[in-house]
Amino acid sequence: MSRAPVEILPDHVANQIAAGEVVERPASVVKELVENAIDADASRVLVELRGGGKTLIRVSDDGHGMSRGDALLSLDRHATSKIRSADDLRTIRSFGFRGEALPSIAAVSRFELHTATATEEGVRVRVDFGKIRSNDVVPRQPGTTVTVRSLFRDLPARAKFLRTAAAETRAASEAVVLLALSNPDIGFRLESNGRPLLDLTGGETWLDRIEGLWGDLAATLIPIEGHDRDVRIAGFVQRPDAARPRGGRRYAFINGRPFRDAGLVRLVDEAFRTTVVEGMRPSMFVRIGVDPERVDVNVHPAKSEVRFRDRASVESALHEAVRAGLASLESTRPIGAAAIATPREALGTRPERDAPGSHADRGASAGGRTVGSSPSSERTAMPQMALFVSGREADEADPSGPEGEGASEAAFTQPELWQLHDRYILAPTRDGLLVIDQHAAHERVLYEEIMARFERGGGTAQALLFPITLRFSPAEAAAVEELSGLLTRVGFELEPFGDRTFILRASPQPHERFDAERCLREMVQELTEGSPLVDSARNQHERIAKSMACKGAIKAGERLSPEEARELFDRLFATELPGHDVHGRPTIVRLTVDELDRRFGRS
């Protein structure tokens, strides 16, 4: 076989090859055309499909439009108004920038471009599979309409890989949803075979846009925001109690551009650890704002992936923002409808235009001590303290006022606590009532205290007046021997006594009712046989902490003295995640006055 000479391909062949990267299916066409409309500062975008986009795709907008010369030039490869030099690639702010979309689409379809500016007549250019057929003056309002018919008709090898019309419609719809989600200031309408699938008004907040797309999902979201150096985070994650095994919506945006990053999704899931049952998929809507020079959006043919210059800062900011959101009482389960507060940045329409956000301070105060703080953190007590004071007192308690922290302490009054049916603690708040599950709350307290013990290398144990002799099964005895070092660090001092027998000489004392023998036996059995709780742990430290927190916590049905209830309340609000126990269940349920008014017909 003789070797053919090297030749430069004709433009129409080169464009068809380029179309293989840009135009995979009708959804790819929809994405590119809608991105162009957004870059043209459109306030309204209409997308029409027939046959899932295989028969017809039409995208109309009211943006700037193009002159006759620009319309013709836009059909040449690498012709674009978005960048002028290689340096511009380092500071990309637009969706499109490569100048490949229109010629690539025109190379594999019957293509029509109808556009006009505010000062020039409209022009309509028709292209059949890469060849310009006509170029006519046709008046129209400012804006652009691109019509794509018979996609891949002359490329049967490509056409046969397209799926059913219904599947292609779903893919195109998802492409529109992504762009609508990142641009709540723009109105979007999507029609399929004349039937409206989506109709969203412009000028919305981000939460409004989420509600317009998924309805009641918006009511289950809690706001997050934070920053780390030059990275800004804003958005929403789902309340842990509302998470489900399937159907979670996971969306991330960098400077307004949607992108995929499995690593960041896993990081958010990691931030939810011990607040949801293993396997749950809470929804996430995350906006990341960075200097455009610190992110490369030109690393993927479909521009669906990005590369961060400082990924560690992005991951740190996102993890801390999610954990801070989960630490707030907004993350706990409400009774009835509950209003969702919105962070400043989440209200913005384009993240890169927003001012940098900051972590919301969090904490609470009770009995003259900061309930929402821990030795390893620097949280401010004001936001959660405001839950337990009146509006006037909250204003007086502002630590930024002339009296500083002294004023906040003087203005604050401890909430009165009640125990209900020996299992729940009731605490009145500024806008309603907190119902605290005493067992779940103590689980959270013990878990974080045990994990802190491990970090410190161990803690104190109380010697038993009468040592306890314990005999285990062969498997349990082997587990005790294997874990003896870790058990000692949490306070269980065991001495081997031969033939699967151990002597317990000291134990931790988390509360006065603590039964060391029963707790240890139940822990050893669970650690040996396994359970959903301990099987979800990442390491042995977590397995022991989770098991001991569950087995050693005070139980439902145990009456607490006022002092014990107060101590539990204070210790709960000193934890990192007070609203959730180690099983992923809520420790707190909120009942607002508004909900009570609604139930009594006062609203």
Helix axes 474-489, 516-529, angle to 10 degrees: 120
CB atoms within 10 A of CB 5: 5
Nearest partner of 239 among 264, 216, 212, 263, judged by Cα: 216
What average pLDDT score do residues 248-275 get? 91
- Its pTM stands at 0.76
What average pLDDT score do residues 375-391 get? 43
- Residue 41, judged by CB atoms within 10 A of its CB (0-12, 13-18, 19+), counts as exposed
Q: How far apart are CA 122 and CA 307, in angstroms?
A: 40
Residue 403 has pLDDT above 60, yes or no: no
**Picking from 98-107, 213-222, 479-488, which range would have the lowest pLDDT averaged per residue?**
98-107
Tokens of 187: 């109105």
Q: How far apart are CA 313 and CA 304, in angstroms?
A: 21
Confidence category of residue 142, pLDDT binned at 50, 70, 90: very high
Give me the count of residues in the chain: 603
Strand order in the sheet with 284-289: 221-228, 231-238, 284-289, 250-254, 257-259
Q: How far apart are CA 260 and CA 148, in angstroms?
A: 27
CB atoms within 10 A of CB 575: 21
Q: Which CATH class is domain 206-353?
A: alpha beta
The pLDDT tens digits for 414-426 are 788 999 999 999 9
Residue 31 has pLDDT above 80, yes or no: yes
If you ran DSSP here, which 8-state letter would residue 399 be given?
A: T
Residue 245 has pLDDT above 70, yes or no: yes
Q: How far apart are CA 368 and CA 109, in angstroms?
A: 73
Residue 252 has pLDDT above 90, yes or no: yes
Q: Is the dihedral of CA 229, 232, 238, 243 positive or negative?
A: negative
pLDDT attached to residue 422: 95
pLDDT attached to residue 11: 61
What average pLDDT score do residues 399-422 get? 62
pLDDT attached to residue 78: 53
11-200: CATH number: 3.30.565.10
Helix (H, G, I), strand (E, B) or coil at 416: coil
Most confident option among 158-167, 174-183, 394-403? 174-183
Q: How far apart are CA 245 and CA 265, in angstroms?
A: 15
Q: How far apart are CA 265 and CA 271, in angstroms?
A: 10
pLDDT attached to residue 313: 92
What average pLDDT score do residues 267-285 get? 91
Residue 79 has pLDDT above 70, yes or no: no
pLDDT attached to residue 21: 53
pLDDT attached to residue 459: 76
Q: What is the mean pLDDT of the chain?
A: 82
Helix/strand/coil (H, E, C) string of 265-329? HHHHHHHCCCCCCCCCECCEEEEEECCHHHEECCCCCCCCCCEECCHHHHHHHHHHHHHHHHHCH
Q: How far apart are CA 487 and CA 96, in angstroms?
A: 58
pLDDT attached to residue 299: 64
Confidence category of residue 561, pLDDT binned at 50, 70, 90: very high
Are 336 and 298 in contact by the 8 Å Cβ rule? The answer is no
**Picking from 55-59, 337-341, 462-466, which range would have the lowest pLDDT averaged per residue?**
337-341
Q: How far is CA 242 from CA 70, 224, 566, in A?
A: 50, 16, 29
Residue 369 has pLDDT above 70, yes or no: no
437-603: CATH number: 3.30.1370.100
Helix (H, G, I), strand (E, B) or coil at 332: coil
Q: How far apart are CA 71 and CA 49, in angstroms?
A: 23
pLDDT attached to residue 512: 87
Residue spans of the domains in the chain: they are 11-200, 206-353, 361-414, 437-603
Q: How far is CA 253 from CA 178, 232, 305, 317, in A?
A: 9, 12, 10, 14
% of the chain with per-residue pLDDT over 70: 78
The amino acid present at 465, given as its one-letter code, is L
pLDDT attached to residue 390: 47
Residue 393 has pLDDT above 60, yes or no: no
Q: How far apart are CA 171 and CA 24, in angstroms?
A: 11
If you ran DSSP here, which 8-state letter would residue 487 be given?
A: H
Q: How far is CA 33 from CA 124, 292, 577, in A?
A: 16, 23, 44
Helix (H, G, I), strand (E, B) or coil at 82: coil
Residue owning tokens 């709780």: 533
Residue 2 has pLDDT above 70, yes or no: no
Tokens of 356: 């940098």
What average pLDDT score do residues 271-283 get? 89
What average pLDDT score do residues 479-491 get? 93
